[in-house]
Amino acid sequence: MADKITNRDILNLIANGTSNDTTKEWAKGHLSAIVNLAEAVILLASSPKSNSCAVAIDEAITDLRSRKIAEVPLHLKDAHYKGAKDRGVKGYLYPHDFGGYVKQQYLPDALVDTKYYEYGPNKLEQAAKAYWDAIKK
């Protein structure tokens, strides 16, 4: 395809069903992706709104900028290289092999008791909290 496809070409194809030959050729392999993306947009637009994630990210970034953050715990580091055992790396316990959660230290020592994310009051976040509490038992 020598011709350049612009966003306007794609929007015309989606909104009006009109396009040039290049856009039609491109669309043969991409229309199903457009449907998936549209479904994702609808889901996100209609989901309950919360700033819990934004607050957590802001707090984590503040810590990164203002605190000395130690190294990742050894058991979370890659153990597939020569010399890993000599450095004390034991290997990662993959949560999916243990029902979705492994009780182990995930944060550096300096952040062990730090909690960034606080569940909001909406039903979706409360359901996520109930799930998280259940798998940690």
| Per-residue pLDDT at 121 | 93
Smallest CA-to-CA distance from 20 within 28, 29, 12 is with 12
Q: Give me the residue spans of the domains in the chain.
A: 7-46, 52-135
Residue with the larger pLDDT of the pair 56 and 26: 56
Reply yes or no on domain 52-135 having CATH 1.10.3720.10: no
The pLDDT-based confidence of 1 (bands split at 50, 70, 90) is very low
- pLDDT tens, residue by residue, 78-134: 777 788 778 777 767 888 888 888 888 888 888 888 999 999 999 989 999 999 899
Instruction: Give CA 21 to chain center in angstroms.
Output: 37
| Per-residue pLDDT at 44 | 84
Show the CA angle centred on residue 52, arms to residues 61 and 115, nearest 5°: 60
Residue with the larger pLDDT of the pair 129 and 70: 129
